[in-house]
């Protein structure tokens, strides 16, 4: 998207209100909400809704300016986080923000000389509260058990994780539920890895993860993994080879004339002719 291109987006879930004065600059460039004289951004929608709006960077100076855009206090995703604005030109940059509760933050722009401008941004999440999550893409890797958590509801979740794994001869891992050091906003996906040291050297294991959170959120997912280490294979092969060698030696000694196998007792033949 060219930095000076004007982009107009439909905002079905966004309510825009006046809240505070917009950022201005006496030294050449300014920052403000696009589409009129709004002095601030105000977004409202059901929790988990992705809201859209546009911010304008106006360069009134005689040379081009490059600014970096970011959100402060609120997670904001811009169509272009770095924008070059030619002289006497306005660039309008779309952005998205997820309604995840009542939040206050700012849209900030900073140029190469360290000068910054900001515009207030207020978020308000409405609608019914729904606690829901899913556990996805469970895989066993060298560094542990990798998985993804997805918040399918409308509330921020503090998940708890339980892990259980069964091998051919019983349980090889059993971790009771514990709180994870993360907070998962609505609509967000998070990749995590559960460490697993002391894994079996030779086994076929069924692994199950169960995640819960306040409000009744619960889901589980499973995968199967086979562990075959080189040391275990070499050890098993050595044991088989040793047993085979011992059996061969026993059989060989049994067939040799000077062997240690017990000999049959001698049998004396009785004469069959007439005696004298």
Q: Residue by residue, what is the 3-state secondary structure of the chain?
A: CCCCCCCCCCCCCCCCCCCCCCECCCCCEEEEECCCCCCCEEEEEECCCEEEEEEEEEECCCCCEEEEEEEECCCEEECCCEEEECCCEEEEEEEEEECCCCEEEEEEEEECCCCEEEEEEEEEEECCCCCCEEEEEEEEECCEEEEEEEECCCCCECCEEEEEEEECCEEEEEEEEEECCCCECCCCEEEEEECCCCCCCEEEEEEEEEEEECCCEEEEEEEEEEEECHHHHHHHHHHHHHHHHHHHHHHHHHHCCCCCCCCCCCCCCCCCCCCC
Q: Report the half-sphere exposure of 79 (CA within 13 A, side-chain side).
A: 19
Give the pLDDT confidence score for residue 99 in this predicted structure.
82
The encoded tokens of residue 99 equal 């309604």
Q: Tens digit of pLDDT for each residue in 115-131?
A: 999 999 998 877 777 89
The encoded tokens of residue 68 equal 């970096």
Give the pLDDT confidence score for residue 26 in this predicted structure.
44
The encoded tokens of residue 165 equal 């794994």
Q: What's the rounded Cα separation, in Å, for the pair 107 and 51?
A: 14
Burial of 153 (0-12, 13-18, 19+ CB in 10 A): buried
Give the pLDDT confidence score for residue 188 in this predicted structure.
85
Give the pLDDT confidence score for residue 264 in this predicted structure.
46
Give the pLDDT confidence score for residue 27 in this predicted structure.
59
Give the pLDDT confidence score for residue 253 in this predicted structure.
65
Q: Do the Cβ atoms of 27 and 106 come closer than 8 Å?
A: no
Q: What's the rounded Cα separation, in Å, for the pair 15 and 233?
A: 65
Give the pLDDT confidence score for residue 35 in this predicted structure.
83
Give the pLDDT confidence score for residue 56 in this predicted structure.
96
Q: Do the Cβ atoms of 185 and 100 come closer than 8 Å?
A: yes
Residues facing residue 30 across a β-bridge:
58
Terminal CA-CA length for the chain: 132
Give the pLDDT confidence score for residue 108 in this predicted structure.
97
Per-residue pLDDT of the chain in tens (276 residues, 90 and over written 9)? 343 333 333 333 333 333 334 444 445 899 999 987 788 998 888 777 889 999 999 999 999 999 999 999 989 999 999 999 999 999 999 999 988 778 899 999 999 999 999 999 998 877 777 899 999 999 999 889 999 999 988 788 999 999 999 999 999 999 999 999 999 988 889 999 999 998 888 999 999 999 999 999 999 999 999 988 655 445 444 554 555 555 655 566 666 665 554 554 444 444 444 343
pTM of the model: 0.49
Give the pLDDT confidence score for residue 125 in this predicted structure.
77
């Amino acid at each position: 998207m060219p930095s000076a291109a004007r982009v107009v987006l439909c905002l079905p879930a966004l309510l825009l209100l006046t809240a505070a004065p917009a950022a201005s600059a006496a030294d050449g460039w300014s920052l403000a909400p696009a589409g009129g004289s709004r002095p601030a951004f105000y977004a409202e929608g059901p929790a988990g809704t992705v809201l859209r709006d546009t911010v304008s960077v106006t360069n009134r100076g005689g040379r081009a300016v490059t600014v970096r855009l970011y959100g402060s206090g609120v997670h904001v995703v811009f169509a272009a986080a770095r924008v070059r604005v030619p002289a006497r030109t306005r660039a309008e940059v779309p952005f998205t923000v997820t309604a995840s509760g009542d939040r206050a933050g700012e849209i900030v722009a900073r140029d190469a000389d360290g000068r910054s401008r900001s515009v207030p941004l207020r978020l308000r999440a409405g609608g019914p509260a729904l606690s829901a999550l899913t556990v996805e893409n469970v895989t066993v890797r060298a560094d542990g058990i990798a998985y993804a958590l997805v918040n399918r509801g409308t509330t921020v979740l503090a998940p708890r994780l339980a892990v259980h794994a069964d091998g051919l001869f019983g349980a090889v891992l059993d971790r009771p539920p514990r709180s994870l050091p993360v907070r998962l906003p609505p609509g967000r996906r998070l990749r995590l890895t559960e460490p697993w040291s002391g894994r079996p050297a030779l086994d076929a294991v069924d692994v199950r993860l169960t995640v819960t959170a306040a409000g009744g959120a619960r889901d589980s997912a499973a995968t199967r993994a086979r562990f075959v280490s080189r040391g275990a294979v070499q050890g098993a092969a050595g044991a088989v080879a040793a047993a085979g060698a011992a059996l061969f030696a026993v059989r060989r000694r049994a067939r040799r004339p000077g062997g240690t196998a017990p000999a049959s007792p001698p049998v004396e033949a009785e004469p069959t002719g007439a005696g004298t």
